[in-house]
Structure 1
Amino acid sequence: MSSSASVIRTDGLTKKFGRVTAVDAVGLDVREGDVYGFLGANGSGKTTTVRMLLGLVLATSGSIEVLGEPMPASGRDVLTRVGALVEGPAAYPHLSGRANLALLDSAGPDGPRRTRDRRIEESLERVGLAQVDRRPVRAYSLGMRQRLGLAGALLRRPRLLVLDEPTNGLDPQGINEIRRLLLELNREGTTVFLSSHLLGEIEQLCTRVGVLDGGRLVLQDEMDALRGPTGRTEVRTPDPARAREVLASITDVDVEPADDGLLVRGLDPADLNDRLVSAGVRVSGLAPERRRLEDVVLAATTSGTDRFGREGERP
């Protein structure tokens, strides 16, 4: 991934509103093929940053490149290759979803009329609105409006997809459907930039993560690196008491209880397994314990994870 071309790059990106610094010298590095999670508590500056990337808000200082071109100077060309959903979908409430997408498509320079109907149909199908798109948008639920906004972002089959809280208002089934869709689009070659305050959403979807705290980028790395091994081994066993008894006599071995068994430090996993099995302890699984994204974020931020949401929560 490190050799991939940059799709979004910022240097010293700063936005001030009067005396308030909303975004402070942010240096993003989003690479071709990433599912990049832009994580931050509500009010951390995520949406302001996204709006600057798309040329909707002018930066106070710093530079932005999107798809290798400077923004907002090259916005007219760049944005034809970018799909975006920011701060909720906009739509004409008296028109159907299909009619809204037709208007949205005709507003762009690369939406030939001969392919418009097919692309609209494909976009509605992908977000699960093919059967309900003829009703007026004012009759849509919040989740359906989110799906329509995502359909609009997909109309031009973008190289880059920029999404701000895309699962807002969706039920658990809808959230899972959107997750599957984003991963499918990524496999097809679309780079995804996903802004969210939901730790679980970022942890399940993303290959690379940036964490914003109080307007500053405090963390940016590959997900695998952030969730690296802790040095302990997770032991799954139906007989944790017997396993602890066996391990208690071994010098320099630390054992802690876990939900499905034990966490063990100080023994190689193969040696650990041999000792337990030889003592008659049933072992159903052994795996290196990995750091939780929540713990990594908590260590890097001053706001703490109490301001970050988990599944089903909206702080």
Structure 2
Amino acid sequence: MIRTHGLTKRYGAITAVDQLDLDVREGDVYGFLGANGSGKTTTVRMLLGLVLATSGTAEVLGRAMPRAGREVLPQVGALVESPAAYPRLSGRANLRVHDALAGGRRRGRAGRVDDVLDRVGLGGVDQRPVRAYSLGMRQRLGLAHALLSQPRLLVLDEPTNGLDPQGIREIRDLLTELNAAGTTVFLSSHLLAEVEQMATRVGVLDRGRLVLQESLEVLKRPTGRTYVRTPDVAAARALLDGQVEAYDEASLLVRVRDVAALNAQLVGAGVRISELAPEKHTLEDVVLAASSAAGDRFDRDVPRVGS
């Protein structure tokens, strides 16, 4: 659905995107992750033909962009940065205008508009002009616009920007539903927790370079270490000398092959255990390990042993 090779964008001496090789497959919910300023939006704009690459190539739906934009873009729904709208018109009127300009059939237009407004949670909005909308309402309207053409591919840049937690959940559920019905979703975001709940594959951008691209299932496989929560940390460490790789005041990470044998060993020595489980990486762990620029620009919690 999306494939790039050596895609690069420079602004003078600044390299915003550097030798990017993306591979987004049909049926993916692809989480395109990176800290603010890492080059995500520039990449999205190049994919849609809004910005010309300095070098490299990009294909969308198997066609070269931006050369094939006239054939490709009607099959792509996009939401990039601040959604465009006529501020004096209502959201419903805006969508009718956009549908007409995109060549949508006049017959059934009102029904199509009402349907997408309902899907993004704006079905009950009155005729107030878009200039009176909140940021979250504008984001919903932008997503409604992206859905009007029933696209094969959705390209979304921070689609939950400005939404409250309930709104974020509603958009997440909608994207999951669309993907299940066959729509491929390319989702650019810095909200790790949200992407982790719906992505099938992820790519991590760090200072313009793609530092990781893999399925989420592979990235979250067990690490081979076992997480042990116990009030007897000192006793467990002494018993498991040489096998403990990390610990804090209430837990340990232990490298063992046989978890059942570990449990029997600890219990047999009188060590009290409140939790024993294989360690798995979260998406947060993976992204922070791959990205040297992550810092506090990601929406994340403080990592801890066993997280």
Q: Give TM-score scaled by structure 2 length.
A: 0.89
What's the offset of the Cα at 1:278? Answer: 6.2
Partner in structure 2 of residue 211 of structure 1: 204
Q: What is the distance in 2 between the residues matched to 1:221 and 1:246?
A: 36
Q: Judging changes above 3 Å, is the alpha-carbon distance between structure 1 residues 220 and 246 closer, same or farther for their aligned structure 2 residues? A: closer
Q: Is the 8 A contact 1:252 1:266 kept in 2?
A: no
Q: Is the 8 A contact 1:82 1:158 kept in 2?
A: yes
Partner in structure 2 of residue 18 of structure 1: 12
Partner in structure 1 of residue 279 of structure 2: 289
Q: Out of 108, 112, 117, which is 2:105 matched to? A: 112
Q: Which amino acid aligns with 1:209?
A: V
Partner in structure 1 of residue 192 of structure 2: 199
The DSSP-based 3-state class of the residue aligned with 2:9 is strand
Which has the higher mean CA deviation after the structures are superposed, 54-63 or 286-295? 286-295
What's the offset of the Cα at 1:201? Answer: 2.5
Number of residues of Structure 1 aligned to a counterpart in Structure 2: 301
Which runs of 5 or more structure 1 residues have no equivalent in the other structure?
Answer: 1-6
Partner in structure 2 of residue 3 of structure 1: none
Q: Deviations over 1:96-123 (max 9, x none)?
A: 11111111111113x2122322221111
Say yes or no: does 1:157 pair with 2:147: no
Q: Deviations over 1:68-93 (max 9, x none)?
A: 11111111111111100001211111
Q: Judging changes above 3 Å, is the alpha-carbon distance between structure 1 residues 107 and 283 closer, same or farther for their aligned structure 2 residues? A: farther
Q: Judging changes above 3 Å, is the alpha-carbon distance between structure 1 residues 73 and 261 closer, same or farther for their aligned structure 2 residues? A: same
Q: Out of 27, 46, 62, which is 1:33 matched to? A: 27
The DSSP-based 3-state class of the residue aligned with 1:305 is coil
Q: Out of 21, 35, 55, which is 1:61 matched to? A: 55
Q: Is the 8 A contact 2:231 2:272 kept in 1?
A: no
Q: Percent identity?
A: 67
Q: Is the 8 A contact 2:136 2:162 kept in 1?
A: yes
What's the offset of the Cα at 1:298? Answer: 2.8
Q: Judging changes above 3 Å, is the alpha-carbon distance between structure 1 residues 133 and 224 closer, same or farther for their aligned structure 2 residues? A: farther
Which has the higher mean CA deviation after the structures are superposed, 58-67 or 299-308? 299-308
Q: Which amino acid aligns with 2:295?
A: T
What's the offset of the Cα at 1:197? Answer: 1.9
Q: What is the distance in 1 between the residues matched to 2:110 and 2:249?
A: 52
Q: Is the 8 A contact 2:223 2:280 kept in 1?
A: yes
Q: Judging changes above 3 Å, is the alpha-carbon distance between structure 1 residues 16 and 257 closer, same or farther for their aligned structure 2 residues? A: closer
What's the offset of the Cα at 1:209? Answer: 1.1
Structure 2 matches for 1:116-155, cutoff 5 A? 116-155=109-148
Q: Is the 8 A contact 1:199 1:310 kept in 2?
A: yes
Q: Judging changes above 3 Å, is the alpha-carbon distance between structure 1 residues 257 and 70 closer, same or farther for their aligned structure 2 residues? A: same
Q: Is the 8 A contact 2:284 2:300 kept in 1?
A: no
The DSSP-based 3-state class of the residue aligned with 2:125 is coil
Q: Is the 8 A contact 1:124 1:133 kept in 2?
A: no
What's the offset of the Cα at 1:235? Answer: 4.0
Q: What is the distance in 2 between the residues matched to 1:36 and 1:305?
A: 23
